[in-house]
């Protein structure tokens, strides 16, 4: 982002058997978080990598979002 240097993006993994359209994801985000927190980009992935602690691997998520490989917004 030229103004802030960063942008809000989400890396999304659906649960088995689940799916949603981009519009449904956007609508859900708008209901749950403040407008400035709504992701401007959505990256759908088969699986979110996890750290040994079981938490999402944030460096991996950041590089995935920056690469644009999975961009679907």
Express each pLDDT in 31-47 by its tens digit.
999 998 999 889 989 99
Decide: residue 5, CB within 10 A, 0-12 exposed, 13-18 middle, 19+ buried. Answer: exposed
pLDDT higher for 57 or 67? 57
Residue 51: CB atoms within 10 A of its CB come to 11
The per-residue pLDDT of the chain, averaged, comes to 88
What CATH number corresponds to the domain at position 62? Answer: 3.30.300.30
Enclosing domain of residue 52 = 9-67
Residue 73 has pLDDT above 70, yes or no: no
16 in any annotated domain:
yes
- Mean pLDDT, residues 41-68: 91
If one counts the domains in the chain, the total is 1
Residue 71 has pLDDT above 60, yes or no: no
pTM of the model: 0.76
């Amino acid at each position: 982002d030229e103004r802030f240097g960063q942008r809000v993006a989400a890396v999304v993994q659906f649960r088995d058997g689940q799916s949603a359209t981009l519009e449904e994801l956007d609508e859900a985000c708008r209901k749950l978080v403040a407008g400035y927190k709504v992701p401007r980009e959505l990256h759908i992935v088969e699986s979110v990598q996890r750290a040994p602690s079981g938490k999402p691997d944030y460096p991996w998520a950041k590089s995935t979002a920056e690469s644009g490989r999975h961009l679907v917004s």
